Chains A and B, each alone.
Chain A
Amino acid sequence: MNNKITHTFFSTAALVLAISTSPVSAAVAVAGSYTIDSDHTNVQFSVSHLGISKLAGRFNTVAGEMLLNPDGKSQLEVRIETNSVDTNHKKRDIHLRSPDFLNVKQFPLMKFVSSNVKYNQNDELVSIDGKLTLHGKTKNVTLSVKPVGAGKDPWGGYRAGYDATTTIKRSSFAMNFMQGGVGDDISITLNIEAIKQ
């Protein structure tokens, strides 16, 4: 009997907690200034290996700010520490950090700064044009953006999440080493979670 009461209590408590902490899954985030939550944001990339498979990796240290305002000025800046590259293979990561590819000693930061943020008719973020600085070169890049969700978090804050994707050519950023073995096209996905300030 006691077990049944305990079970019912915990089931109800879990349900209440789940409801109270579930973010509002609205795709349109509230306008305002946001800071990228480094703990819940990641940058993933994939590149062809020998033309027969895709190799995936990520950058673990990401920071940045976002200003959302469909009726006015919107902007995004993302800073990625190149030294945080992680492909789940220590030796390969050392090679990627070397002058053969990222040359992290000389170019410790990869940066994206928006120049034009576009919304659709429903005020949903759809794409961001901007400049990507990587390996000492700055090139125009367009991020295709898909809103994931937005709403209150359990700590009283407000968060918004986006998936942003783009494809760059590493040769455009003067990374030409081993073009045959390592593909030129690099697909990049930013899984962004930002906290409203």
Chain B
Amino acid sequence: METLMQIILPSAILPLLVSFLLWRFSLKNSFLLWSLPLIWLPSYFWLIGWPSLVPAEASHWLWLLLIASMIINLIFESRLLLITVLQTTLLSFILIGVSWPVFQYQIDLKLIIEMLVIIVVAYIIFNGTVKNNVSTPALLLAICFAGMGLVIVLGGSLLIGQLAGAMASVLAVFACWEMISKQQPLINALKLVPVVQLYLVILVIARIFVEIPLATFILLSLAPLANLITTIRYALILSITSVIAAISWLLLSVDVTSYY
């Protein structure tokens, strides 16, 4: 029971609770929504511990990424093109940091191409959401994070899967509100850029260190793009389809017998 609580508390109960409090207060004070990415951090520090300033492992980059991404948004709020360029540059630097421990042993051309794909996807998302102010509903991102979390847990890393699951829980409260109220998304696209950054970097960590299949990786990387090409309703269908396809591919290609 204690072990089960160790899994559920940081990845579900704590983020849901903090997210609910934020939602409750942000209804009257919408500026509080800027802190949405930050409320994932208690779960992160619970799971990872307090990482050193110089990251020793791939997951140690995540809190730096989140904070740096938020700072870029806050400082350059009105300069949208600059935000897109800086966010993409930040992602590129973080990806180099994340993959360096592998590259120091062997330069892997395939991995470099995969990371370039992620950077291109990121640029399209940042450019599309920031420039055109396309709404990125919390529901869509919650589905992406939940799907990715499930993939990573089935792929062999409970820890990285929990990190993704915690963000899915953070977004779930706002996703529920979107579904019940049937209003426009509460959070605008710009506020969710750090969350998209987090999604893409966790996905790369899963690809490099948990070795999720390439097809699963590509399908999950394309899932958050859906709302740039169609309306929210169809975007949700596209994203869910993409996530289900990613999970199905994993189930077909690797042994997913649970032992935890």
Contact = CB atoms under 8 A, between A and B. Distances in A.
A10 B209 CA distance: 57
A92 B258 CA distance: 9
Given A92-B259, A99-B57, 20 more contacts: A89-B259, A94-B156, A98-B160, A98-B210, A99-B59, A99-B157, A99-B210, A100-B157, A103-B57, A103-B209, A105-B208, A105-B209, A106-B57, A106-B58, A106-B101, A106-B209, A136-B56, A177-B158, A178-B3, A180-B2
Contacts of B257: 91
Q: Interface majority SS on B: helix, strand, loop or mixed? A: helix
A139 interface: no
Contacts of B18: none
B30 interface: no
Interface in B1-53: 2-3, 6, 47, 49
A149 interface: no
A90 B56 contact: no
Contacts of B47: 177
Given A89-B259, A92-B259, A99 B3 contact: no
Interface string B131-162: 00000000000000000000000001111100
Given A98-B209, A136-B56, A91 B259 contact: yes
24 contacts: A89-B259, A91-B255, A91-B257, A95-B156, A95-B157, A98-B156, A98-B157, A98-B209, A98-B210, A99-B209, A100-B158, A105-B208, A105-B211, A106-B57, A106-B101, A106-B102, A106-B209, A136-B56, A136-B57, A174-B57, A178-B158, A180-B2, A181-B3, A181-B6
A178 B158 CA distance: 10
Between A50, A94, A97, the greatest number of chain B beta carbons within 10 A of the residue's beta carbon is seen for A94
Nearest to A182: B3
Contacts of B208: 105
A185 to B, nearest CB: 17
B205 interface: yes
B56 A95 contact: no
Contacts of B2: 180
Contacts of B3: 50, 178, 180-181
A84 interface: no
Contact residues on B (Cβ < 8 Å of other chain), bracket? 20 to 34
A88 to B, nearest CB: 12
Contact of A174 (B56, B105, B160, B205): B56
A95 B3 CA distance: 16
B156 A97 contact: yes
B255 A90 contact: yes
A128 to B, nearest CB: 27
B213 to A, nearest CB: 13
A92 B158 CA distance: 11
Nearest to A137: B56
Contacts of A103: 57, 209
A61 interface: no
Contacts of A108: 105
Given A99-B59, A99-B210, A105 B101 contact: yes
A146 to B, nearest CB: 34
A168 B210 CA distance: 26
A139 to B, nearest CB: 15
Interface string A60-86: 000000000000000000000000000
A108 B209 CA distance: 12
Contacts of A136: 56-57
A176 interface: yes
B157 to A, nearest CB: 4
Contacts of A98: 156-157, 159-160, 209-210
Contacts of B156: 91, 94-95, 97-98
Contacts of A174: 56-57
A176 B258 CA distance: 21
